[in-house]
Amino acid sequence: MPLLEVKNLRTVFDTDVGRVHAVDGVSFSIEKGRTLGMVGESGCGKSVTAASIMRLVPNPPGRIIGGEILWKGRNILDIPSKEMPELRGKEISMIFQDPMTSLNPVFTVRKQMEEVVSRRKGLKGKAADQTIIDMLQTVGIADPSRRVDNYPHELSGGMKQRVMIAMALLAEPDLLIADEPTTALDVTVQAQILHLMKDLQKRLGTAILLITHNMGVVAETCDDVVVMYAGRAIESAPIDELFAANRHPYTRGLLQSIPIPGSNKRDALATIEGVVPSLITPPKGCRFADRCFARQARCTTDDPTLTTIGTGHQVACHFPLEVAR
C-alpha cells in the first residue's frame, strides 16, 4: 500500500466569472522513503493539489468536490476537521515558497519552535532548548544560540527558509510536502536546502512531494515525476524514464525548451506555441490539443485518460510519441 494515494482529485474555486476547475481529476501515489516531483507551469494545479492533501484549500471560494486522498489507507477527506491539526503537525509537514506563510511574525524563532518540540516530542525547558538549537545548527544557521531569539523579520530569506525547514524536520513527518521550497533562493542556498531535505529522507525514511517548475531541481532530487497540465496529471514515470523516454508531447516540449549546459544561441530553443486553456470552460477533448504539434482529429473530441504504458509509466495521450533515440 502506498503511503499516500491520490485518486481522481477534483478541487474547484467559485469566482465571480465562474467555477475554476483548478484540479480536475488528478491521480498519483507516493511510497515511503521516495521523492515524487510534481512539475508544471503556473496555474497547472500543483499548489492546489498540495493544499488539498493538507485540507488547506480556503473554503469559500475553494472546495474539494471529488476523489479520494488515501493516507496510509484512510481517506483524508473523511477525517473530522478537529483531527486535522494533529495529522498536519505530526505526520505530514509542509514547507512553502514564501516562508512567512508558515512563520508567525510576532513570535521569536524559539517560541515557534518550542511549540513543535513540545507537541511532537513532549520536551520542555532545557531539553527543548537544546533540541531546537541542534536543529538550527543542522539546517546551517550560523550562531544558532543567538538567532533563536530573533524575530522572523530579522532573518534573511535563506535563513527564514531554513527555520521553516527546521520546524518541518523537528516534526519528523512521514511525508514532507515542499511547494517550490527553493524558488525564491539563490542557487548556492538552493543546493544547501535540497541537500538538507535529502539528508532527512536518508535518516528517517521520509517521503517527499516536491512541487517545482524547475526541471533541473527535479532531475537532481526526485525518484519519480508527475507532470501536470491545466489541472490534470498528463504523464508520470520514474525519473530516468521521464527524461529519456517521455511520451507526452507536452512533457517533451517542456524538456526541450530548457537551455541545457553546452547549448548556445546558434540553436533556437524549442517552444510550445499558444497558451494554456481556460480552467473555467476547459476544452472538450485533450486540454493540450490546441498547442500540440502531433494533434489529430480525435484529440479535439475525446478526453484522454491516464493509461499505463510501462512499469510505473503512465500517460494521458491518444497518440503517445515514439521514444526519441
Partner 1 sequence: MSAPLLEVQDLYKSYPVRGGLFSAKQGEVKAVAGVSLTLKKGETLGLVGESGCGKSTLGRTLMRLEAANSGRVLFEGADVLTADKHQLFALRRKIQMIFQDPYSSLNPRLTVGSIVREPLEVHKIGSREEQNARVRELFVAVGLKPEMIDRYPHEFSGGQRQRVGIARALALNPSLIVADEPVSALDVSVQAQVLNLLVELQKKLGLTYLFISHDLGVVEYLSDRIAIMYLGQIVEEGDRETLFREPKHPYTRALLDAMPIADPRRRRDRAPLQGEAPSPLNPPSGCTFHPRCPYATAACKTTIPVLEPVAGSTPDHRAACLRKNEI
What are the residues binding partner 1 (CB under 8 A)? 41-42, 140, 142, 156-159, 186-192, 195, 213-220, 239-240, 243-244, 253-255, 257-265, 268-272, 275
Q: Of 270 and 323, which CB lies nearer to partner 1 in the complex structure?
A: 270
What is the DSSP annotation of 224-264? EEEEEETTEEEEEEEHHHHHHS---HHHHHHHHTSPPTT--
Q: Of 120 and 213, which CB lies nearer to partner 1 in the complex structure?
A: 213
CB of 195 to partner 1, least distance (A): 5
CB of 253 to partner 1, least distance (A): 6
CB of 226 to partner 1, least distance (A): 15
- C-alpha span between 58 and 65 (Å, rounded): 13
Q: Of 21 and 162, which CB lies nearer to partner 1 in the complex structure?
A: 162
CB of 325 to partner 1, least distance (A): 15
- C-alpha span between 71 and 1 (Å, rounded): 10
Q: Helices in 171-313 by DSSP H: which ranges? A: 187-204, 215-221, 239-244, 249-256
CB of 217 to partner 1, least distance (A): 5
Residue 33 near residue 206 (C-beta atoms within 8 A): yes
User: Which residue type, as a one-letter code, is found at position 115?
Assistant: E
CB of 303 to partner 1, least distance (A): 22
Q: Of 271 and 311, which CB lies nearer to partner 1 in the complex structure?
A: 271
Q: Of 82 and 266, which CB lies nearer to partner 1 in the complex structure?
A: 266
Q: Of 117 and 286, which CB lies nearer to partner 1 in the complex structure?
A: 286
- C-alpha span between 307 and 313 (Å, rounded): 8
Q: What is the CA radius of gyration of the chain?
A: 21
Conformation bin of residue 231: beta by default, left when phi > 0, alpha when psi is -120 to 50: left
Q: Helices in 19-83 by DSSP H: which ranges? A: 46-53
